[in-house]
Amino acid sequence: MSKDDLDFGSPWPDGVISFEDRKLRVSVETVELLESLLRDARRGAVSGIAVAVLRANDEYEMRLRGSCAEQENCMHMAGMFAAMQKIVLSLQD
């Protein structure tokens, strides 16, 4: 894994930690989506994946794999991320 395809972040400034206890919850819809994507990938229907993950501790990571990480698909990826940004920003309405 190269450093270029992995980005970790935290909403907290450096040196700040949260003492708030949180109960971890399982997102059933997230598990179902991942299982469906895995089935599609195993039968060859998925050629690449771009993943943005929000972890239970509020950290995040982003990864590109397969054809999503290939230079010739960079404009497709830019379009996909622009569409994702529009979806996320519409959640605020």
pLDDT score of 70:
96
Instruction: Quote the CA–CA distance of 11 and 55 in Å, as a whole number.
Output: 11
Question: Is pLDDT at 93 greater than 70 in this prediction?
Answer: yes
User: Which pLDDT tens digit goes with each residue over 40-89?
Assistant: 999 999 999 999 999 988 999 999 999 999 999 999 999 999 999 999 99
pLDDT score of 3:
45
pLDDT score of 4:
47
Query: Any idea where the domains of the chain sit in the sequence?
Result: 3-66
User: Which pLDDT tens digit goes with each residue over 7-39?
Assistant: 445 555 666 666 666 677 889 999 999 999 999
Instruction: Quote the CA–CA distance of 73 and 88 in Å, as a whole number.
Output: 23
Residue 58 in tokens: 């509020």
Instruction: Quote the CA–CA distance of 8 and 2 in Å, as a whole number.
Output: 13
pLDDT score of 18:
62
**DSSP string over 1-59:** --GGG-EEE-SSPTT------------HHHHHHHHHHHHHHHTT---EEEEEEE-TTS-
Helix (H) or strand (E) segment spanning residue 66:
strand 60-66
